[in-house]
Amino acid sequence: MSEPIKVAIADDHVLFRAGVKTTLSMHKDIKMIAEADNGMQLLNILKHVQPDVILLDIQMPIMDGIATLPEIKHLYPDIKVIMLTMHNDHSMISKLMELGANSYLTKNSDSEIIYQAVKTVYEQEYYFNQLTNKALIDGLRTKRQAEASLPADVKLSDKEISILRMICEEKSTKEIADLVDLSPRTVEAIRDKLKVKTGAKSLAGLVMYAVKSGIIENRPFAN
């Protein structure tokens, strides 16, 4: 059996934190390794232990999730971060996904959904649901109004366009590699090159670029 997924949680609601820890610990492929009351405490913990996935509450005292997320992504880019909140705020979701969040869940999500989100972001980098999909579309509409034109110098090869389409279809790196007959490492390199070419900071930004440029329809993810 492979190593369990190491998970940390930062949330100032002790009962919620305890509930999530209990339900996730019931799965043999998950290992809870750390917990924190706020973002500052979490960043101190990360100096000593490195989880694979962090469940990060948006609203916390001292240092909230919105301030903590960019710090985590800057210092530990390989750690996946799932944002937790009581609120279904599309503009906030879009903003956080662009900042590098790997998923966004409301705190009333079923425990099985939280487990699936942890597994999916660990294996495939992102976990999309109706909340994130709708938010990406809403964020795209806002960006379209704010941005009159696309960068004129962006030229993508047929292979890059093909891989971008498959990224938007939520295919994993391995699935894409098999379909285009390349190694997963090469696919990752092409994905990174796409981000540089399009100016996207995250996968969410790549999806928005693909829609704006007409590479895919204005419905990046199916439900």
Q: Which pLDDT value is given to residue 139?
A: 59
Q: pLDDT band for position 223 (50/70/90)?
A: very low
Query: Model pTM?
Result: 0.64
CATH number for the domain running over 5-138:
3.40.50.2300
User: 50-95, pLDDT tens digit by residue?
Assistant: 999 999 999 999 999 999 999 999 999 999 999 998 877 767 777 8
User: 33-43, pLDDT tens digit by residue?
Assistant: 999 999 999 99
152-212 maps to CATH 1.10.10.10? yes
| CATH 1.10.10.10 domain range(s) in the chain | 152-212
Q: Which pLDDT value is given to residue 176?
A: 93
Q: Which pLDDT value is given to residue 149?
A: 44
| CATH 3.40.50.2300 domain range(s) in the chain | 5-138
Residue-wise DSSP of 159-201:
HHHHHHHHHHTT--HHHHHHHHT--HHHHHHHHHHHHHHHT-S
Q: Which pLDDT value is given to residue 151?
A: 52
User: 90-145, pLDDT tens digit by residue?
Assistant: 677 778 888 889 998 888 888 899 999 999 999 988 887 766 666 665 655 555 55
What is the largest distance, in Å, between two alpha-carbon atoms of the chain?
52
First and final C-alpha spacing in the chain: 32
Q: Is 59 within 8 Å of 89 (Cβ atoms)?
A: no
Q: pLDDT band for position 148 (50/70/90)?
A: very low
**Pairing of β 103-106 and β 5-10:** unpaired
Helix (H), strand (E), coil (C) string for 63-123: CCHHHHHHHHHHHCCCCEEEEEECCCCHHHHHHHHHHCCCEEEECCCCHHHHHHHHHHHHH
Q: Which pLDDT value is given to residue 47?
A: 95
Q: Which pLDDT value is given to residue 135?
A: 61
Residue 153 has pLDDT above 80, yes or no: no
CA 100/CA 121 separation, integer angstroms: 12
Q: Which pLDDT value is given to residue 7?
A: 97
| Sheet (strand 80-85) strand order | 30-36, 5-10, 53-57, 80-85, 103-106
User: 160-199, pLDDT tens digit by residue?
Assistant: 999 998 988 888 899 999 999 999 999 999 999 898 888 8
Q: pLDDT band for position 217 (50/70/90)?
A: low
Query: String of b and e for 54-93 (b: at least 16 CB within 10 Å)?
Result: bbbbbebeebbbbebbeebbeeeeebbbbbbbeeebbebb
CA 138/CA 131 separation, integer angstroms: 11
Q: pLDDT band for position 156 (50/70/90)?
A: confident
Residues 6+ apart with CB under 8 A from 116: 127
